[in-house]
Chains A and B, each alone.
Chain A
């Protein structure tokens, strides 16, 4: 009962302070423990120079369109597909790989993992090595565009993490792949 009475008194005191602050925005408060002043959003728009104002900035808006999600930018595509039993980066994927290589060259702080994959046919360990060869082929192209070795780790999932399931050529083609994954 006593606790309840105390709580009511505290709430009333807090309400009084808020009322005071809201009604008189320039009042200097003596007690630093009191709640921070509440700034009227409308007042800020009118050119108030309150030191506690926070102006939100959208980084993407200032840089323009995000290159990694803009479908017109080759950086938005991160998968390279391979022919059966092949590690050759086909010409249709070279603009994609070159764009990532240039981006890495220009952004030395960024790092990627290149993850190689294979279709389901054949042994698990041998496929792991085949997937590694695909990842390595993509890495070599990235290096040619000026990316640094330390920016790129190549790994393989072999046939263990198929994107498409089923034993059709369509599924296999989806899984013969290297993905460029930004860390």
Chain B
């Protein structure tokens, strides 16, 4: 328990230092972001309201930036008042330091003659009283949210040395009525959702391909579970696993060429490997019970999975080519849905403890584990591509919602989303 938490800052410092080498000397001396997890100091930052020049932007860019940074768990948002700070005005950065902000963000949005928007921001260091960053983004009104997420990513990276994930995408399933399911693609904060698939039968287990363009998922549209691969940009889709029995639990290999799936064509649920187009199917597990929920380690060498070979469900690890499996979870009698962080150090999973289903994080080197949430109906944890945040589904008042949490559980945020019962979130990769 202690170890997993102590490990996080060590890596973070290393990452921050790595990034610092690339920064100018003057800046390096001022950066004091330390990511220390629970009880750690959050970096205090003030984000002023962006000035609106001419007709105002239809999206509150500064509010989105503020929400993104707060959700990361690494920043404490210092109140910047309700008045925008106009660029070129005389900003007294020492005052902002006194107000408790180590950095200040100012910005503006201006509608151009062609209808697009020019959004500008400056990131200012209140300690050294210098500008750390400043950029202008021109985008159509429909991309203003994306612009806001890109600004948040930029600030995040400048101050932490790590890449931000706010401009990535997520996918999830929403059940809109008793006989209606939709697969949605949305911004990482859950907003701006678009329906990629509608069905009168359930959809479960969506998972992004490493290319960030394709989704694999399970659809019951033909009257039984079948695995599809769906190219989101074109809507093209193909049933890649449609064997006798049930087909489910797709997992992409890190190179995007293979899929591990659970098939029942030879009896109970077992894990098979196939090419991403559904060809060259071979069986990986050989148990008499349940083996399901495969998940590749980031190096592609191992597959983590859920098995009931010891009685109740526990998480195991085996070579990606099949073979002897080692048990990974030992706490409690119900541990399912393994997902690894992209550095391979952490494993998120769902555990039943005292009747509650909670997202847990295990430090794989030490085996220590700790709960990330305090809710009782958590499902489907999914790591952000920088490994700092987890996306998961949980229930509030009997309705499925999306939530994100920092991996240490210190900051949890409920995400926005469409009305309906939301479940099965999956966090997409960085988009090149």
Do chains A and B stick together as partners?
yes
Interface of A is mostly: mixed
Q: Which residue in A129, A153, A154, A161 is a CB contact (below 8 Å) of B292? A: A129
Q: Mark A143-175, 1 if CB is under 8 A from B, else 0.
A: 000000000011111101100000100000000
> Which of B9-17, B59-67, B185-193, B243-251 forms contacts with chain A?
B243-251
Binds A, one of B77-85, B132-140, B262-270: B262-270
Q: Does A97 contact B (CB under 8 A)?
A: no
Cross-chain contact A130 with B246 (CB below 8 angstroms): no
Query: In the complex, which residue of chain B has the Cβ closest to the Cβ of A137?
Result: B268
Residues 75-97 of A at the B interface (beta carbon under 8 Å): none
Instruction: Determine which of B202, B246, B334 lies in contact with A122 in the assembled complex, contact meaning CB atoms within 8 Å.
Output: B334
Chain A's closest residue to B244 (CB) is A153
- List chain A residues, Cβ under 8 A from B225: 128, 155-157
Q: Does B224 lie at the interface of the complex (its beta carbon under 8 Å from any beta carbon of A)?
A: yes
- Interface presence of A125 (CB below 8 A): yes
Distance A59 CA – B245 CA, assembled complex (angstroms): 33
Q: B382 at the A/B interface (Cβ < 8 Å)?
A: no
B407 shortest CB reach to chain A, Å: 20
Given A122-B334, A122-B336, A157-B202, A129 and B220 contact (CB-CB distance below 8 Å): no
The reply on A182 being an interface residue by CB < 8 A is no
Q: Residue A9 at the B interface, CB < 8 A?
A: no
B interface, over-half SS:
strand
Complex CA–CA separation, A106 to B220 (angstroms) = 31
**Docked pose: A113 CA to B336 CA in angstroms:** 28
A110: Cβ under 8 A from any B Cβ: no
Q: Quick one: which of B223, B245, B336 contacts A126, CB cutoff 8 A? A: B336
Known: A123-B336, A125-B292, A155-B224. A160 touches B204 (CB 8 A): yes
The contact string, 1 if C-beta is below 8 Å from chain B, for chain A 107-124, is 000000100000001111
Contact status A126-B306, CB under 8 Å: yes
Q: Is B341 in contact with chain A by the CB < 8 A criterion?
A: no
CB-CB < 8 A to A156: which residues of B? Answer: 225, 246, 264
Question: B384 → chain A, closest Cβ, in Å?
Answer: 21
Say whether, besides A123-B336, A123-B379, A160-B204, A129 and B269 are in contact (CB < 8 Å). Answer: yes
Q: Flag if B264 contacts A126 (CB, 8 Å).
A: no
Query: In the complex where A123-B336, A124-B379 touch, is A132 in contact with B204 (Cβ < 8 A)?
Result: no
The interface centre, meaning the residue of B202, B264, B334, B350 with most chain A CB atoms within 10 A of its CB, is B264
Q: Is A125 touching B245 in the complex (CB atoms < 8 A)?
A: no
CB atoms of A132 and B205 under 8 A apart: no
CA distance in complex: A153, B223 (Å)? 12
The CA-CA distance from A136 to B350 in the complex, in Å, is 26
Contact residues in A for B308 (Cβ distance below 8 Å): 129
Report Cα–Cα, A15/B225, bound state, in Å: 60
Q: Which of B205, B225, B244, B262 has the most A CB atoms < 10 Å from its CB? A: B225
Docked Cα-Cα span, A124 to B423, in Å, equals: 10
A126 / chain B contacts, CB cutoff of 8 Å: 290, 292-293, 306, 313, 336-337
Assuming the contacts A157-B220, A160-B204, asked whether A132 and B357 have C-beta atoms less than 8 A apart, the reply is: no
In this assembly, does B352 line the interface, its C-beta being within 8 Å of a C-beta of chain A?
A: yes
- Give Cα A124–Cα B205 distance, bound, in whole angstroms: 8
Q: B290: which A residues are within 8 A, CB to CB?
A: 126, 129-130, 132-133
Contact of A132 with B202 in the complex, beta carbons under 8 Å:
no
Q: Which residues of A sit under 8 angstroms from B334, Cβ to Cβ?
A: 122
Smallest beta-carbon distance B176→chain A, Å: 15
Partner of A136, one of B204, B205, B268, B292: B268
Distance between Cα atoms of A128 and B424 in the complex (Å) = 14
| CB atoms of A125 and B220 under 8 A apart | no
Given the complex, which residues of A lie within 8 Å of B379, measured CB to CB? 123-124
B interface vs A, CB < 8 Å? 202, 204-205, 220, 223-225, 244-246, 248-249, 262, 264, 267-269, 289-290, 292-293, 306, 308, 313, 334, 336-337, 350, 352, 357, 379-380, 398, 423-424
Inter-chain pairs besides A124-B380, A129-B308, 13 sampled, C-beta below 8 Å? A113-B224, A121-B357, A122-B357, A123-B293, A123-B337, A125-B248, A125-B306, A125-B337, A128-B262, A133-B289, A136-B268, A155-B246, A156-B225
A-B contact pairs, 7 of them (CB 8 A): A113-B224, A124-B204, A124-B205, A124-B423, A125-B262, A129-B290, A130-B290
Identify the 6 closest CB pairs spanning chains A and B, nearest first.
A160-B202, A129-B269, A155-B224, A129-B290, A123-B336, A129-B292
